[in-house]
Amino acid sequence: MSTKFKSKRAPGMPVGYKDVHDDPLSQALMPPEDESPEDRALRMEKQQEATRISREIDESIQESKKAYEKRKKAIKVLLLGQAESGKSTTLKNFQLAFTPNHFRSERAAWKTIIQLNLIGSIKKLLEVLQDEMDSVPQIKPSTPSISVSRSSSSIRLPGTNLTDNHRRIRMRLSPLISMEAALARKLLPENFDPERSSRDICVRANSGWKTTLERATSPDARPGSSTKSGARRISSRPGTSDTRSRDDPTAVLAACKDDILLLWEDPIVKDVLQKHNVRLEDSPGFFLNDVARVADPNYEPTDVDIVRARVRTFGVEEHKFVLENGTMGATPGSEWYIYDVGGSRSMRQHWVPYFDDVQAIIFLAPLTFNQVLEEDSRVNRLEDSIYLWKEVCSNPLLARSTLILFLNKMDILEANLNAGISVQKYVPSYGDAPNDIEHVTRYFKEKFRAYQKRLSPRQRPFFCHETSAIDTHATSAILIGVREGILRGHLQKMNVI
């Protein structure tokens, strides 16, 4: 009886399946009647392999499903704000506070960025000196005077307090500039644009630029050295020690260190900068006050250096955080996604696709009332931040997202107010209220609060923090509170608490 029943099923088909004579597929799969034992063994082997592959596909679908569910449950935070508002700096603070091991593992990549930042400031400084020299007639110098010098004396150039010694130092520093362009082209080739070479270093989101930098600047990747497989990585030129040191920012900076210090600490140079209205201290990625350290051959960036390094974000970067054990009271293993966007005007259209799936937005609004946008010098930065804030508050896609406002760059606000810069001059509506940090902060905070209240499609609480994102200690305390708040809100929405 059982033999008879078996013969009616295709091999491997469970009991209860349709009779093979009714099912064309089963019929097609039936072994030939004269199947040899070898053919049968081969067929069984193929069948087992097919079953294994099918099981693997099922498992991978299940895993994708699980990952999708996990991602759906994960907390997603979007960092928004204009260019240079401090979004990437806040992200780095987040990494330092909650995934410090990962943060520190990227130190080598940041070292090159910091060196490029420093060279960028020197380049700007040299441009100002050149402008000053060009602004006066180039006639034969006549009035000798003593100034900064390695030699015993120097000759003052006509019409300026700069001397021929400044000109010589400027010449000696010029290899830094050609090296910067070469380095940017080699290390970040897809982002190299000679038209923009005077601007910040720019990296494309999710391009793996940190890995590229780490590989390209590791000792065995320098020109003239070989990889384990014997292939050259960067340059095909013969690797003389001369070419090696000319391409290596650490070696070139070390060779130029004394000259950089001489220029930067020279009171005449400071006067020229002031005359040309250039405050390098306020520009992003400023490391000129740290030359002695950064230009040292054994320089290793500190955590704060990394947080202060400047790289312009281009596009939208996704950062996954799996909180590390023992970090700031975090629940180990919890998953967060933080999206860091490029903030300049041309990049804002890329923000919208991320709006419908985020629990919280951290909006960076620096209180830089006396600065204008780099991309449009007719627009005041603070005015632009308020415009953006209004857009975010009123956007229906964000109606359910928690908004957290960071009034950032409080240190710069304080310095500006201490220097006596009047808020009323730039923001007439401020009137004649006291020009101090307390009143100014309260005034702008209330402005942001009122717009949120007026424009939000549904009521939501106003969360606001005063931050200086380069102060890692203070910022980590704020971020712990923010993380708790977002988590609580998220759990409430999911009805877990």
Ligand X SMILES: Nc1nc2c(ncn2[C@@H]2O[C@H](COP(=O)(O)OP(=O)(O)OP(=O)(O)O)[C@@H](O)[C@H]2O)c(=O)[nH]1
Hey, which residues does 321 pair with through a beta bridge? 336
**Considering the complex, what minimum distance in angstroms separates the CB of residue 176 from Mg ion?**
25
93 touches Mg ion by CB under 5 A: no
478 touches ligand X by CB under 6 A: no
The answer to whether the beta carbons of residues 109 and 370 sit under 8 Å apart is: no
The nearer residue to ligand X, 313 or 452, going by C-beta atoms, is 313
88 touches Mg ion by CB under 5 A: yes
90 touches Mg ion by CB under 5 A: no
Compute the chain's Rg from CA coordinates: 31
**Considering the complex, what minimum distance in angstroms separates the CB of residue 467 from ligand X?**
6
Q: Is 409 annotated as a binding residue?
A: yes
The nearer residue to ligand X, 156 or 312, going by C-beta atoms, is 312
- Which of 306, 360, 470, 487 binds ligand X (CB under 6 A)? It is 470
381 touches ligand X by CB under 6 A: no
Hey, which residues does 407 pair with through a beta bridge? 365, 466
Q: Is 411 annotated as a binding residue?
A: yes
The nearer residue to ligand X, 83 or 116, going by C-beta atoms, is 83
203 touches ligand X by CB under 6 A: no
Select from 114, 256, 250 the least CA-distant residue to 174. Answer: 256
Span of 84-92, 212-220, 267-275, 318-326 interacting with ligand X by CB under 6 A: 84-92
Q: How far apart are CA 218 and CA 215, in angstroms?
A: 5
Tokens of 60: 């991978």
Tokens of 341: 């966007």
Q: Is 408 annotated as a binding residue?
A: yes
Q: How far apart are CA 79 and CA 392, in angstroms?
A: 12
Q: How far apart are CA 93 and CA 100, in angstroms?
A: 9
Task: Enumerate residues 6+ apart whose C-beta is below 8 A from 239.
Answer: 222, 223, 224, 225
Q: Is 134 annotated as a binding residue?
A: no
**What sign results for the dihedral spanned by CA atoms 192, 196, 201, 206?**
negative
Q: How far is CA 268 from the centre of its chain?
A: 36
- Which of 20, 77, 80, 84 binds ligand X (CB under 6 A)? It is 84
Q: Is 87 annotated as a binding residue?
A: no
Phi, psi at residue 363, to the nearest 5°? -105, 120
223 binds, among ligand X, Mg ion, none (CB under 5 to 8 A by kind): none
**Considering the complex, what minimum distance in angstroms separates the CB of residue 331 from ligand X?**
27
Report DSSP state, residue 463.
Answer: E
Select from 243, 239, 261, 262 the least CA-distant residue to 252. Answer: 243
The nearer residue to ligand X, 161 or 283, going by C-beta atoms, is 283
**Considering the complex, what minimum distance in angstroms separates the CB of residue 406 from ligand X?**
9
Phi, psi at residue 35, to the nearest 5°? -60, 130
The answer to whether the beta carbons of residues 214 and 108 sit under 8 Å apart is: yes
The nearer residue to Mg ion, 20 or 203, going by C-beta atoms, is 203
313 touches Mg ion by CB under 5 A: yes
Q: How far apart are CA 87 and CA 84, in angstroms?
A: 8
408 touches Mg ion by CB under 5 A: no
Report DSSP state, residue 1.
Answer: -
284 binds, among Mg ion, ligand X, none (CB under 5 to 8 A by kind): ligand X
88 touches ligand X by CB under 6 A: yes
Q: Where are the beta strands (DSSP E) in 377-431?
A: 402-408
The nearer residue to Mg ion, 26 or 313, going by C-beta atoms, is 313
For residues 396-425, which are near ligand X according to CB under 6 A?
A: 408-409, 411-412
Q: At what angle do helices 437-455 and 381-394 cross, to 10 degrees?
A: 30
Q: How far apart are CA 171 and CA 165, in angstroms?
A: 10
82 touches Mg ion by CB under 5 A: no
470 binds, among ligand X, Mg ion, none (CB under 5 to 8 A by kind): ligand X
**Considering the complex, what minimum distance in angstroms separates the CB of residue 207 from Mg ion?**
14
For residues 264-293, which are near ligand X according to CB under 6 A?
A: 284-285
Task: Scan for tokens 């034969």, then name that residue.
Answer: 140
89 touches ligand X by CB under 6 A: yes
Question: Which residues are near ligand X by CB under 6 A?
Answer: 81, 83-89, 284-285, 308, 310, 312-313, 342-344, 364, 408-409, 411-412, 468-470
Positions at the binding site = 282-283, 313, 408-411, 469
Positions at the binding site for Mg(2+) = 313
Positions at the binding site for GTP = 282-283, 408-411, 469
